[in-house]
Chains A and B, each alone.
Chain A
Amino acid sequence: MPSDTGTSGLNPSDQAAARASVAPTDLKRLESGLDALETPRTEQRKFSAFLFTLLSPIIAIVAILLIWQVVIWLQWQPSYIIPSPSDVWTALGKQVEAEILWQATFNSISRAIKGFILALIIATPIGVALGLNRTLRSIFGPILTGLQQLPSVAWVPAAIIWFGLSDATIYTVVLLGAVPSIANGLISGIDQIPSIILRAGQVLGARGLDRVRHIVLPAAWPGYLAGLEQGWAFAWRSLMAAELIAVSPALGPGLGQMLDNGRSLGDMALIIGSIFMILAVGVLVERIVFAPLRRRTLMNRGLLR
Chain B
Amino acid sequence: MTVAQGAVHLTDIVKRFSADGPTILENVSLSVQPGEFVSLVGASGCGKSTLLNIIAGLETTTTGQVELAGPPTLMFQEPALMPWLTAGRNIELALELTGVPRSQRKARAQELLELVHLERSYKQRPHELSGGMRQRVAIARALAQGRSVLLMDEPFAALDAITRDFLHEEITRIWQETGITIIFVTHNVREAVRLSQRVLLMSSRPGRIIREWEVGSEEPWRTDSTYSSYVSELAEEITTNLREEIVRHAV
Q: Residues of A with Cβ closer than 8 Å to B?
A: 2-5, 7-9, 12-13, 15-17, 19-20, 22, 24, 27-28, 30-32, 34-35, 38-40, 42, 196-197, 199-200, 202-206, 210, 214-215, 218-219, 221, 300-302
Closest CB in chain A relative to B204 CB, distance in Å: 18
Whether B93 contacts A39 by the Cβ 8 Å rule is: no
**Inter-chain contact B166/A34, CB cutoff 8 Å:** yes
Contact in complex: A12, B231 (CB < 8 Å): yes
In the bound complex, residues from chain B placing their C-beta under 8 Å from that of A300 are 83-84, 125
Instruction: Name A3's contact: one of B85, B165, B170, B190 (CB within 8 Å).
Output: B190
B79-122 CB contacts (< 8 Å) to partner A:
80-85, 93-94, 96-98, 117-118
Q: How many angstroms between the C-alpha atoms of A3 and B229 in the bound complex?
A: 13
Chain B residues contacting A35 (CB-CB under 8 Å) are 118, 130, 132-133
Of A19, A219, A301, the most chain B CB neighbours within 10 A belong to: A19
Q: How far is the CB of B241 from chain A (nearest CB, A)?
A: 12
Judge whether A206 and B130 touch: CB under 8 Å: no
B161 at interface (Cβ–Cβ under 8 A)?
yes
Interface string of B182-206 (1 = CB under 8 A from A): 0000001111000000000000000
- A205 to B97, Cβ gap below 8 A? yes
Contacts of A200 in B (CB 8 A): 76, 80-82
CB nearest neighbor in B for A211: B97
Q: A2-B190, A199-B80 are in contact. List 17 more A-B contacts (CB 8 A).
A: A2-B232, A3-B235, A4-B188, A4-B190, A5-B164, A5-B188, A27-B166, A34-B132, A38-B131, A39-B128, A202-B58, A206-B97, A214-B93, A218-B82, A219-B84, A301-B125, A301-B127
Dominant SS among interface residues on chain A:
helix
Mark each residue of chain B from 47 to 82: 1 if its CB lies under 8 Å from any CB of chain A, else 0.
000000000101000000000000101101010111
**Which bucket holds chain B's interface residue count?**
35 or more
Interface flags, B208-227, vs A, CB<8A=1, else 0:
00000000000000010101
Q: Is the CB of B56 within 8 A of A203?
A: yes
Is B232 a contact partner of A12 (Cβ separation < 8 A)? Answer: yes
Residues of A within 8 A of B80 (CB): 196-197, 199-200
- Inter-subunit contact A15/B128 (CB<8 Å): no
Q: Across the interface, which residues of B come within 8 angstroms of A202, CB to CB?
A: 58
Q: How far is the CB of B86 from chain A (nearest CB, A)?
A: 9
Q: Does any Cβ of A come within 8 Å of B244's Cβ?
A: no
- Interchain CB contact (< 8 A) of B169 among A19, A42, A302: A19
Q: Which residues of B contact A302 (CB under 8 A)?
A: 83, 125-128
Q: How far is the CB of A171 from chain B (nearest CB, A)?
A: 32
Separation in Å of the B150 CB from the closest CB of chain A?
A: 11
| Chain B residue, CB-CB nearest to A24 | B173
B30 CB, min distance to chain A CBs, angstroms? 20
What are 8 sample pairs from A and B whose C-beta atoms fall under 8 A apart?
A4-B190, A13-B229, A20-B223, A24-B173, A30-B166, A39-B129, A42-B128, A199-B58
Instruction: Indicate whether B33 reaches chain A with its CB closer than 8 angstroms.
Output: no
Contact present for B232 and A205 (CB under 8 Å) = no
B239 at the interface (CB under 8 A from A): yes
Q: Which residues of A contact B132 (CB under 8 A)?
A: 34-35, 38
Per a CB cutoff under 8 Å, which of B93, B163, B223, B236 touches A2? B236
Alpha-carbon distance between A27 and B169 when the two chains are bound, in angstroms? 8
Interface string of B154-182 (1 = CB under 8 A from A): 00000011111110011001000000000
Bound Cα distance from A30 to B225, whole angstroms: 22
- CB atoms of B235 and A15 under 8 A apart: no
B39 at the interface (CB under 8 A from A): no
Contacts of B165 in A (CB 8 A): 8, 15
